[in-house]
């Protein structure tokens, strides 16, 4: 199973591009599922105490991905990639980070870092409330990807054709 991961801070467009790619792959007949951000649903439910438990959030995201792998899915499209758990963890430890990266390494990951458009910011179900906070999270994402030598391609949030070309699935 290939896992298509979209990285960036809050409001950058991860969910939007993930939904678009998911739709395009499904319409082309690929067994594809969208692995949405579990934490966002908890924010919408005001379950802020649970959102603070990064181990639980990681376990939920990892479980969703493992489940899809068992069912011979072609593509899992993820707007909340497993490594993001590292930067949101308020009690960082090397052991947790290693566990996250070990689980992440189980899959054939295709990684995209989204380039922020300062004129567009949509903060839905997040603690980050302004552009400065979102940009700080962007910087943390890049630092984490670089630290763990995660290969990625930088794209704009609307470059779905680039993703499809990378997958050798683009049809004009």
What's the CATH number where 74 sits?
3.40.50.300
Q: Which alpha helices (DSSP H) does the chain contain, by range?
A: 14-27, 38-44, 48-51, 54-70, 84-88, 94-104, 131-147, 160-166
Residue 9 falls inside a structural domain:
yes
Residue 67 falls inside a structural domain:
yes
Residue 114 falls inside a structural domain:
yes
**3-state SS class at 20:** helix
- pLDDT at residue 48 in the model: 66
CA dihedral angle for residue 162, residue 166, residue 168, residue 171, rounded to 10 degrees: 0
Residue 70 falls inside a structural domain:
yes
Say if residues 77 and 95 touch (Cβ distance below 8 Å).
no
- pLDDT at residue 130 in the model: 80
Q: pLDDT digits over 12-26, tens only?
A: 999 999 999 999 999
Q: pLDDT digits over 106-117, tens only?
A: 999 999 999 998
**Domain total in the chain:** 1
Domain of 31, in residue numbers: 2-166
- pLDDT at residue 56 in the model: 87
Range with the poorest average pLDDT among 28-37, 50-59, 60-69:
50-59
- pLDDT at residue 107 in the model: 97
Short-list 140, 144, 69, CA closest to 108: 69
Q: pLDDT digits over 59-97, tens only?
A: 999 999 999 999 999 999 999 999 999 999 988 999 999
CA distance readout (Å), 148 to 41, 84, 114, 156:
28, 12, 18, 23
Q: pLDDT digits over 93-144, tens only?
A: 999 999 999 999 999 999 999 999 876 555 555 555 688 888 999 999 999 9
Residue 172 falls inside a structural domain:
no
Residue 134 falls inside a structural domain:
yes
Question: Is the pLDDT at 44 greater than 70, yes or no?
Answer: no
Residue 171 falls inside a structural domain:
no
- pLDDT at residue 117 in the model: 83
Residue 158 falls inside a structural domain:
yes
């Amino acid at each position: 199973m290939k896992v298509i991961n979209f990285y960036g801070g809050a409001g950058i467009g991860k969910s939007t591009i993930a939904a678009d790619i998911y739709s395009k792959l499904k319409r082309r007949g690929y067994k594809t599922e969208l692995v949405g951000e579990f934490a966002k649903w908890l924010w919408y439910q005001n379950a802020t105490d649970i959102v603070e438990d990064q181990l639980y959030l990681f376990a939920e995201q990892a479980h969703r991905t493992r489940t899809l792998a068992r069912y011979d899915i072609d593509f899992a499209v993820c707007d909340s990639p497993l490594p993001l758990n590292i930067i949101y963890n308020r009690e960082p430890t090397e052991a947790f980070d290693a566990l996250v990266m070990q689980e992440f390494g189980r899959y054939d990951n295709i990684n995209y870092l989204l380039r922020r458009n300062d004129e567009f910011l949509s903060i839905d179900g997040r603690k980050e409330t302004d552009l400065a906070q979102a940009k700080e999270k962007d910087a943390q994402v890049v630092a984490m990807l670089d630290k763990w030598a995660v290969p990625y391609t930088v794209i704009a949030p609307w470059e779905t054709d680039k993703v499809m070309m990378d997958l050798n699935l683009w049809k004009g």
